[in-house]
Structure 1
């Protein structure tokens, strides 16, 4: 070991090491807040392991959020010690392990750390765990922290924990770790000048995965500007691989400048080249992988697009995708810090200073926005299916956890009580999403372990776009591929084959620190017995079967130009897709464009109905369905696979209760006019509405909503005897309404008193009252028939509104106060009408005149 003392002494975090050691000696946990470039990722683990000649020898595990960061951190620490990776310092990432017998510092991804904790809850032989870059709030990191705190509290109080980050909620992490001391390291980063460089014209905000090409063109122009105005290499942050490619295309023709593209899928050689000094000036186009833990040598300028990608889940449709969002203030600080690691620098921000204040302070915690199926399985394996006792900065959303538990139950990973099964333990140890784990375990007996591993490996990482949307074709392209993706795919296939060949020994389900017990009797292992596909089966059938096993609710049948998935969501293929003629598809990757209800298929495989029944057998039901459709009762026996109808036949003797329910639904959809409403029935309903309004209880509410709610009281037994729409039209609504009258109290007999259908006017005629407006009944009567009446008639204490009619039956006046009308209004009406109707009486004093239904001529006879 040859320590590079000059490089070690130049790391500012060294000054914070005494305080950090004191915190760990006294409390056992600590939160380390150190700005970018201070050496927290590389110097602190070496010091904690006693590799700098001070302190006791310890075994230290450092957890990084990304593989590229884990490898880079291990290489940097080995360089500082003058050793090769795998000696005192090693690393383990999925599919790659470089660790020796004498390794004291091991850098792992948080996913690897979770797997290790599930296999060995005590972390035997590990003295210190350092969780780096906590501010990123990745789900695996939050889960690891919760499990580690649980281990320390219940099994190993001597285990030391450090949460480290440059920009994070230090007080929140301190509370989470039992009141841990916060140790702050002073930064020595050089000054970074902020240059605000917004587009000259407004650009469209990000929409789902779409970024306005105008913004990307602007970013490329800002990179060119930075190259012209500043010295040193340029690091440009973009949200994803597609945007990196677009900006790279916009930088074509740069003389003497090397353009590198770095992201999680970039070849290892490119990643290594970025982390080594270049011979020419460089532009590094990077996703958020370059925000943390990495020092890109030579960088003096950062160009920040201001965008990031976050996961989003549509639980109702079972779809998950990445969404483009505005980067947080914390992320912007991290990105800017890359420019000041080695010398003064500058950051060009592609937004306005006013917008900056409105950015979110921190990124959205992944636990709040991501698919929680894998997390729920980890929690169940830990013995806390509800995750209610885990030390988490943010609790998991209830809806997301419920969706996760439904999926885990469907694949046999947990039992009805949420406790993990033996199958669930095995799924958790595969290092795959539970969906893909189920496809691997159940697909291997059916198509062979090698071929199942090939398809699952293809589904575990997004394939290049040029592979197309046909999963089988993509599989063949991966086999031929000589690119970085092909290399990673082959490595993952080898890993999965090895996993399948291993019995995966380990502690029983629910044996974590919280207990939880083994699953009860009757837990079902629903692995297939095989036999659906043989070694000679083509790639199309193999890809379809494995994808269907992974995503059974996304199996889709062609339906009127689009596809209907078993989940009930419609999906569409892109124009020109070779899959368009397929009657059935297993959709492996789909997203839902913002603002649209249908899904968009990104990757799928052709299947048939037999495979659909095989893979989604839990969704297969056959039942009687009776409902209201097309204006009548429809009764049928349906065999249904999720939302897709496989077979339908008419049902002649449907269950009477189901028929009755359909009729009630019809009344609710189309209204009570489906019944026979005679004029007398309409009048009765109006009278009852009037009495209800004026008197109240015990008179019934006869509004549509109330009548629907009390259908059992007034429409039986006629409704139970009905079978179809025509039967409803024969039910006498008036007779049925009579059942709602308050007969028991005797009040029903007062209906004619409170709301008489007709009243006798002074002429002796019996005139019908119109109760159409329950607040003011109307009496329409010829004017001459009301002579001699001094006060307006009243019902239930409410004066009726009298419409006084001309001899021709047309309204001549409207009044609720007859005495006032005779005194003030009658003379005007008399003057207007007596010339038009000379045969009718028009006395000077109507209040004292004789009422009549006849003309003067008839009176004289």
Structure 2
């Protein structure tokens, strides 16, 4: 029986008629509805015709997280008086509850992406609702772009709604083709804001991290334990001062665990809600209290889509996690940041969903103005390898035709395409290969898909799946830093992680076993410049949560995983783990440098903790590392023992053999090198290096150490200053002789001397002045005017030829005052008046002027009064215009 009374109480009902009209007229709409209004539960039922008004249509609702998808489906089924799987069902990673009569299906955005790739028409679907689009997860943005493409090309009848509580409504309306914006009034209960900053300052999040190629990377940025202690104390304060359940927002699972430990003994049930929590725990939280007061510690999964019954108080730590990618080092992670203003509003709103409430904000009110308005769109900050593969499978490798609120950054897309090309997912033109299509359907990041397929061919599907499952969700810290030991712990483990791991192993084993034979790119692997994958952005956290695994898979070489050499029966756990980890992250293959230090193929140093059993290994396959701010090396958190042959096989594309001529410690060094990325395997001196390589090393030396390596005389420095002055004042054709310009094109002025040089000392013999003269505008004839436009010296009335200094903004003429008697106007060079430094007879500055006429009228008298007593032997006439200029004393003038 439909619970009509409950449906009628949902405030969004007032906006339903306008939404229906918008969809009937335009087929698209943006729905803005505050939390608690019923947009996630009532609107799909109405659009599907399940509330008794309107034709029955099939509706798909896309949620950003699995917990939200399950909760929304169960709530809608309850409103209809049914169980999930009847007219309302859901599909998330590893769980599908639908029936023949299902007309409303709630899915994660990752599941919907996979479905679109297999069936672009979305056959049988009448409408799609993208819920919580304000969160700007990459999967949600991609789903919207694909659906708009489908509407434009093959399904103009497909209805599309972008729904959110707080969003850039105008931006989404433009994206959907000037879609109508429908706003629903909410019945908001007042929420009192209480500012509860720590008594003493706490350290901001800091540190750096590298994720494995998994859906949920290690967090980047350590949270000050003092802040977590303060949050726990604030929860205790809230329990004492307020009634009702308390919902506390923390950035991640680790922080939730630490705060839970500090809340031991409170008179309340402490529950933990995050993407990795078992479904039974999540369901219990959403079911409401059974009479016992509760404290719910949650990540951002509880910001939207979910109503936690009984909550009257929110405690907000003010922190959140966002993905970040370091493309230069091939490292990616979640970073701890200050939560945005929009997130703060969403969190506070949880306290007022059912009744008046309060929010305790664990920061100072003055900090509010410095917060970002919205979270950073994931497409701008995350690794884009999985997105690029989805775009390539869609037929738009560079994503240039996709309707996206924010275009993908060119650098991140370039790195992503390098990864995909190296693992054989795309061809040289960026088009997806058959292998790439199969990878995209594994529900894994492309790196892990490569490790599963190629690892299965070498070690068997089951064993490869075990390692990939470990990489897909990092094991708990207590499992240790040895990946092989963690594998053995997970096999015999009975904790929640082990249960999830075993479920994922079964899924991945089936995917790898189902893959037929195909062509492999050989030793293809992601290049060192490619970044590791970022956080799962579609179906929540946990194993492969960023992508749906409901599709059937193909493979490159994984079809041999069940028999023959592909069974891996003769390989130890350590060998298999090392192989699969190296296949996933070849640029993180690392060789020992001694005392627990390693060098990764990417060029980044890495160090193991004291006491690690891995310290004695000559090679490692690094799966997880974090690089603290300002640290020279990364800290290895999770790695596997590796042998050299496996390292060379997995990272073979990084191997380079050949001549290497470089500028090292101030000299040209020529060697014959065999290297694996930055790891040198063998080196011997090279007696007759390629002259072009030598020349390149010399140019590198000039750029590192500067043009002072050449021979510069005073006259050469003066020439350079004159040319710089003319370039600044007159521009072309006078050359730019700044360091940057000269080093940018050394051929233009240093040839042929540079080509003849072989070592540092040869550079010191190059006459920089002669080289600079090659840059003069000889072809136009202007070079002949150099001495006219910027003379080296100027003749003054005394007959002396005085050097002009061009080093500053204005040319300077430093001359004794008596030598300028009778000169009324300031000398000019290239039309610019010189700055005259008038010197005393002893050569010390007496006055500075760029206007001699003014000086004679107004300044000379004061200078004369000050200096003539000090220098009585020199002429100091009252009217300098009537006395000849001289470089001599008065006595000598009389004798002459």
Question: How far is 1:748 from its partner?
Answer: 8.5
Aligned residue in 2 for 1:437: 449
Going from structure 1 to structure 2, the CA distance change for 1:86 and 1:628 (only over 3 Å counts) comes to same
Question: Is residue 2:893 matched to residue 1:847?
Answer: yes
Which of residues 328, 344, 355 in structure 2 aligns to 1:343?
A: 355
Retained in 2: the 8 A contact 1:691–1:755?
no
Retained in 2: the 8 A contact 1:235–1:284?
yes
Question: Is residue 2:272 matched to residue 1:261?
Answer: yes
C-alpha deviations, 1:119-159, integer Å up to 9, x for none?
Answer: 00011111121111122111111111111111111111111
Question: How far is 1:733 from its partner?
Answer: 7.2
Question: How far is 1:56 from its partner?
Answer: 1.6
Which of residues 626, 632, 642 in structure 2 aligns to 1:607?
A: 642
Retained in 2: the 8 A contact 1:49–1:57?
yes
Question: Taking structure 2 as the reference length, what is the TM-score of the superposition?
Answer: 0.79
C-alpha deviations, 1:641-683, integer Å up to 9, x for none?
Answer: 2222222121122112222333344455556665678xxx766
Question: Is residue 2:76 matched to residue 1:77?
Answer: yes
Aligned residue in 1 for 2:604: 569
Distance 1:117 1:148 in 2: 8
Aligned residue in 2 for 1:395: 407
Larger relative contact order (Cα-Cα within 8 Å, sequence gap ≥ 6): 2
Retained in 2: the 8 A contact 1:544–1:586?
yes
Which of residues 472, 481, 484 in structure 1 aligns to 2:496?
A: 484
Which structure 2 residues correspond to residues 180-199 of structure 1 after superposition, within 5 A? Answer: 180-199=179-198
Going from structure 1 to structure 2, the CA distance change for 1:631 and 1:532 (only over 3 Å counts) comes to farther
Distance 2:406 2:77 in 1: 36
C-alpha deviations, 1:377-400, integer Å up to 9, x for none?
Answer: 111111112222212222222222
Going from structure 1 to structure 2, the CA distance change for 1:533 and 1:676 (only over 3 Å counts) comes to farther
Question: How far is 1:790 from its partner?
Answer: 13
C-alpha deviations, 1:19-42, integer Å up to 9, x for none?
Answer: 332222222222222222222222
Question: How far is 1:449 from its partner?
Answer: 0.6
Distance 2:161 2:556 in 1: 40
Distance 1:698 1:233 in 2: 77
Distance 1:323 1:478 in 2: 27
Retained in 2: the 8 A contact 1:203–1:214?
yes
Question: Is residue 2:283 matched to residue 1:272?
Answer: yes
Bigger shift: residues 725-734 or 476-485: 725-734
Which of residues 572, 589, 611 in structure 2 aligns to 1:538?
A: 572
Distance 1:434 1:151 in 2: 25
SS of the counterpart of 1:579? helix
CA-based RMSD: 4.3
Question: How far is 1:770 from its partner?
Answer: 8.5
Aligned residue in 1 for 2:64: 65
Which of residues 552, 560, 569 in structure 1 aligns to 2:586?
A: 552
SS of the counterpart of 2:689? coil
Question: How far is 1:455 from its partner?
Answer: 0.8
Larger Rg over CA atoms: 1
Going from structure 1 to structure 2, the CA distance change for 1:441 and 1:751 (only over 3 Å counts) comes to same
Aligned residue in 1 for 2:856: none
Question: How far is 1:13 from its partner?
Answer: 2.5
Distance 2:370 2:847 in 1: 64
Distance 2:348 2:123 in 1: 39
Going from structure 1 to structure 2, the CA distance change for 1:654 and 1:80 (only over 3 Å counts) comes to same
Distance 2:387 2:438 in 1: 15
Aligned residue in 2 for 1:859: none
Which of residues 327, 335, 339 in structure 2 aligns to 1:315?
A: 327
Retained in 2: the 8 A contact 1:638–1:649?
yes
Question: How far is 1:716 from its partner?
Answer: 5.2
Question: Is residue 2:620 matched to residue 1:585?
Answer: yes
Distance 1:342 1:741 in 2: 80
Bigger shift: residues 397-406 or 433-442: 397-406
Distance 1:341 1:104 in 2: 28
Bigger shift: residues 391-400 or 377-386: 391-400
Retained in 2: the 8 A contact 1:32–1:163?
yes
SS of the counterpart of 1:323? strand
Distance 2:176 2:785 in 1: 76
SS of the counterpart of 1:621? strand
Which of residues 493, 501, 506 in structure 2 aligns to 1:494?
A: 506
Question: How far is 1:536 from its partner?
Answer: 2.4
Distance 2:669 2:444 in 1: 45
Question: Is residue 2:236 matched to residue 1:224?
Answer: yes
C-alpha deviations, 1:272-293, integer Å up to 9, x for none?
Answer: 2212232411111111111222
Which structure 2 residues correspond to residues 136-151 of structure 1 after superposition, within 5 A? Answer: 136-151=135-150
Going from structure 1 to structure 2, the CA distance change for 1:210 and 1:709 (only over 3 Å counts) comes to closer
Aligned residue in 1 for 2:249: 237
Going from structure 1 to structure 2, the CA distance change for 1:74 and 1:624 (only over 3 Å counts) comes to same
Retained in 1: the 8 A contact 2:251–2:321?
yes
Going from structure 1 to structure 2, the CA distance change for 1:532 and 1:348 (only over 3 Å counts) comes to same
Which structure 2 residues correspond to residues 458-469 of structure 1 after superposition, within 5 A? Answer: 458-469=470-481
Question: How far is 1:356 from its partner?
Answer: 3.3
Going from structure 1 to structure 2, the CA distance change for 1:332 and 1:652 (only over 3 Å counts) comes to same
Distance 2:822 2:244 in 1: 104
Going from structure 1 to structure 2, the CA distance change for 1:617 and 1:533 (only over 3 Å counts) comes to farther
Distance 1:345 1:698 in 2: 73
Retained in 2: the 8 A contact 1:741–1:748?
no
Distance 1:366 1:848 in 2: 87
Gaps of 5+ in 1: 506-523, 781-785, 833-841, 851-861
Distance 2:635 2:106 in 1: 39
Aligned residue in 2 for 1:514: none
SS of the counterpart of 2:332? strand
Retained in 2: the 8 A contact 1:687–1:755?
no
Which of residues 639, 659, 663 in structure 1 aligns to 2:698?
A: 663
Size of the aligned set, in residue pairs, is 801
Going from structure 1 to structure 2, the CA distance change for 1:847 and 1:60 (only over 3 Å counts) comes to same
